[in-house]
Amino acid sequence: MNSSLLLIYVFSVVALIVTPGPVVALIITTSLQSGSRSALLTAAGTNLASLILVLVAVLILSGSFSVSPGLLSAISVVGCLFILYLAVQGLRYPPGPGVQTRRARSGVGRGFLVGISNPKDIIFFVAFFPQFIHVADSFSASVAWLTGLWVLIDFAVLAGYIALARQAFALKYRAAINRVACLVLLAVALMGIVHSGRLLLG
């Protein structure tokens, strides 16, 4: 086991997940709008998406699969359009005191769609993830370690954001926090559409 490489991987994953992006913004808005349960379901959806991206990265590394940049760009555009929709909905229907919206029922699905199209995660798993594939003596052991640590860290960090969003201070200013999170979603969506659109158009 390459402990130093594994430690670098852990710090990299924490930095990636803690950095505000579409997943963090979605988790915060869901927690404010629909409560902790829906936010945890949304986090589970983003985790599921991460596992699929891990699988794609592993298949690429093993030589069993190849993904064209055009396909990745197309997936990113579709995802960014969905993120744009979520941002607009969040700005149109801000949370009020004690409000639990109907969107709570679709937490896993929303989390999955945002996670599977998250530019940060796509770049990490397809480009950055392979740099750490030698943390263990065998390919399968390395994949197990990297995947397991990702899931644990991802869920722990997102659970921390959910807990923070349910604190008295956050609830008092939920409308303002929700607006900022939705604006982050909006900015990520627009930048992603422009960037991925340029790649698609060549």
Q: Give the rounded distance of the alpha carbon of 19 from its chain centre.
A: 11
- Of 199, 191, 187, nearest to 87 (Cα)? 187
**For residue 64, what pLDDT is reported?**
61
**For residue 199, what pLDDT is reported?**
67
**For residue 102, what pLDDT is reported?**
45
Burial class of residue 58 in the structure, from the number of CB atoms within 10 Å of its CB (0-12 exposed, 13-18 middle, 19+ buried): buried
d(Cα 56, Cα 62) in Å, to the nearest integer? 10
pTM for this entry = 0.69
Q: Mean pLDDT for each 10-residue chunk of the chain (202 residues)?
A: 83 77 82 84 88 79 65 70 77 59 61 75 69 81 86 89 81 75 77 73 68
**For residue 146, what pLDDT is reported?**
86
Tokens of 91: 């700005």
Rounded alpha-carbon distances, angstroms, from residue 67 to 32, 53, 56, 57, 190:
37, 11, 8, 9, 24
Radius of gyration of the chain (CA): 17
Q: Is 117 helix (H, G, I), strand (E, B) or coil?
A: coil
